[in-house]
Amino acid sequence: MEHDATVEGVGVGVSEEGSGTPVVLLRAREEIVPIFVSKDQAQSMQLAMAGEPFERPLTHDLLVEMVTEFGGAIDRVRIDDLADGTFYGKIDAEQYTDDRRKDMVFDARPSDAIAIALRVDCPVVVTDDVIDEAGRPPEQFDQSGSGSEDLGL
């Protein structure tokens, strides 16, 4: 089963190694699923969440523009697997040509999928298996303020 998720915040968390690492927090099924990401990915997500344009298009902006120009749309993104500590995701898209709809599914890193979802305001869904394995009670996370920590933008 899949559950709608909301991006609760992007900031710096403490990884298993004990270092400060950028993390995106997804809330699904009343749990928080932390996904550690690169600093660049976190900054891209923060820009999208803030609605701030960048002086030049970032990779995710370019991809969204290209999909749109080719008659496509992003329907939703899925975080649908977790194996050996690595999350896996998909981007569900559609394209219309000659009044015919073509559905497509693209394998994607969850960080890319989430950054794109934030730009097009499409649903993010997380499967039960992922929540069961990685979900944590919200009380385990200190989300004072806006839930996002500035990553040096």
Domains of the chain from N-terminus onward: 2-140 (3.10.690.10)
**Does pLDDT of 147 surpass 60?**
no
pLDDT at 18: 63
pTM: 0.86
Split at pLDDT 50, 70, 90, the class of 146 is very low
Split at pLDDT 50, 70, 90, the class of 116 is very high
pLDDT at 15: 61
Share of the chain above pLDDT 70, in %: 88
Of 82, 146, 87, 143, the C-alpha closest to 111 is: 87
Of 44, 24, 49, 45, the C-alpha closest to 34 is: 24
Quick one: average pLDDT of 125-143?
90
